Homo-oligomer: A and B are copies of this chain.
Amino acid sequence: MRVRLEDVARATGVSPKTVSRVLNEEPSVKESTRQKVLAAMESMNYRPSPSARGLAGSRSFLVAMLYDNNDNPASTYLAEIQDGVLDACDAHRYSMMVCPLRVRDQDFIRRVDALVSDHHIDGVIVTPPLTDYAPLLKRLQEHGVPHASISPVNHEGVIGVCMDEQKAAKALVDHLLQQGHRRIAYIAGFANHGASRWRLNGYKDAMAAAGIAYDPKYVVQGEFTFGSGVLAARQLFTLAEPPTAIFAANDDMAAGVMWAANERGLKVPQDLSVCGFDDTPLATQLWPPLTTVRQPARDMGKLAALQLMELLRGRGTGLLVQVPYSLQLRESTAPAPREAPVKGRRKARI
């Protein structure tokens, strides 16, 4: 029925333990033996049983991806991360389990235990905002399960992947400033996401560098959702001196801003420039297409998982890899209305 390790051993004329060594890439196997065993495995179509390995040994070749289920980023973002993690798993013959966590539930720890200790999970990929949720990290450490983080706030002794979001946000706001905007508003996301703070800091940096005093009237709290973007924008529109440009901390909220602008009869970008962050598919599906910062989510998922596996396979300790951002300047931003309403070529493309 099933080809077992023992069958391979018999076919090769070595002991089961030696086959096991080859399987686990242990160094102390003679090269010729290794080749023989490998050939037999291949020809017999041998595939080890994860259950048996998990039960007998300390590894399961299983990683889990954790995300926050009631306070998460856009589902398109998570889906891309997930695809990237799966890419990496594929490359290293790991399997992936997915685990949504509700941080508010007290049953939270039980879920982590159930996953990590029951399934002998080898390692975990943590997505925002769980990356910095102390009770989770503590529990993982207690279990001795290593993790890689996507965009963690705290970089100390953490592996995974990050981006210089503050610099990216500054570059984006610099772009608005160059276009003559002075009254630039910022819509923040949830405070427990590093993204909210980094992007706010980038905004502040750019404004300060341009010699514009920070004005809290132009900074509104949002929740990373489309609806919160609508509400924040409505609020900004009622100001005595409404902004000529709005920088929303993510694309979903930026879409909400554009929606609210439509509602109010404001033309984007003629009356109002709008930009977001992440470059989710939504950004190019809006009209006009949204100026934003590209965050390579799929690559980030893959890189984080690769760092984790590097560590798991004892190949190294894993790194916190920094990926580059890139500005996506599209048609939702234009020169400020009062300054110089240049009517440039503005034909949108997909």
Digitize A335-350: 1 where CB-to-B-CB distance is under 8 Å, 0 elsewhere.
0000000000000101
Segment 69-86 of A: residues with Cβ below 8 Å from B = 69, 75-76, 78-80, 82-83, 86
Shortest CB-to-CB span from A307 to chain B, Å, is: 20
Can you list 22 A-B contacts (CB < 8 A)?
A47-B114, A48-B118, A50-B119, A51-B54, A51-B60, A51-B119, A51-B120, A75-B76, A75-B79, A75-B281, A79-B79, A86-B98, A96-B98, A97-B97, A227-B350, A252-B285, A255-B285, A258-B287, A259-B350, A262-B287, A262-B348, A282-B285
User: Is A284 in the interface zone, CB < 8 Å from B?
Assistant: yes
Size of A's binding interface in residues, CB under 8 A:
50
Segment 291-326 of A: residues with Cβ below 8 Å from B = none
Contacts of A263 in B (CB 8 A): 287, 348
Shortest CB-to-CB span from A51 to chain B, Å, is: 4
User: Is A186 in the interface zone, CB < 8 Å from B?
Assistant: no
Contacts of A60 in B (CB 8 A): 51
CA gap between A120 and B86 in the complex, in Å:
19
User: Is A226 in the interface zone, CB < 8 Å from B?
Assistant: yes
Contacts A76-B75, A86-B100, A119-B95 given; does A55 touch B47 at CB 8 Å: no
Contacts of A163 in B (CB 8 A): none
Contacts A226-B284, A255-B285, A259-B287 given; does A98 touch B118 at CB 8 Å: no
CA gap between A286 and B259 in the complex, in Å:
7
Shortest CB-to-CB span from A347 to chain B, Å, is: 8
User: Is A52 in the interface zone, CB < 8 Å from B?
Assistant: yes
User: Is A192 in the interface zone, CB < 8 Å from B?
Assistant: no
Shortest CB-to-CB span from A281 to chain B, Å, is: 7
CA gap between A47 and B109 in the complex, in Å:
14
Contacts of A97 in B (CB 8 A): 95-98
User: Is A230 in the interface zone, CB < 8 Å from B?
Assistant: yes
CA gap between A2 and B86 in the complex, in Å:
30
Shortest CB-to-CB span from A253 to chain B, Å, is: 11
User: Is A160 in the interface zone, CB < 8 Å from B?
Assistant: no
Segment 94-126 of A: residues with Cβ below 8 Å from B = 95-98, 100, 113-115, 117-120
Contacts of A120 in B (CB 8 A): 51
User: Is A15 in the interface zone, CB < 8 Å from B?
Assistant: no
Contacts of A256 in B (CB 8 A): 285
User: Is A141 in the interface zone, CB < 8 Å from B?
Assistant: no
User: Is A235 in the interface zone, CB < 8 Å from B?
Assistant: no
User: Is A49 in the interface zone, CB < 8 Å from B?
Assistant: yes
Contacts of A52 in B (CB 8 A): 51, 55
Counting chain B CB atoms within 10 Å of each CB, the highest count among A60, A69, A78, A259 belongs to A259
CA gap between A50 and B49 in the complex, in Å:
13
CA gap between A288 and B98 in the complex, in Å:
36
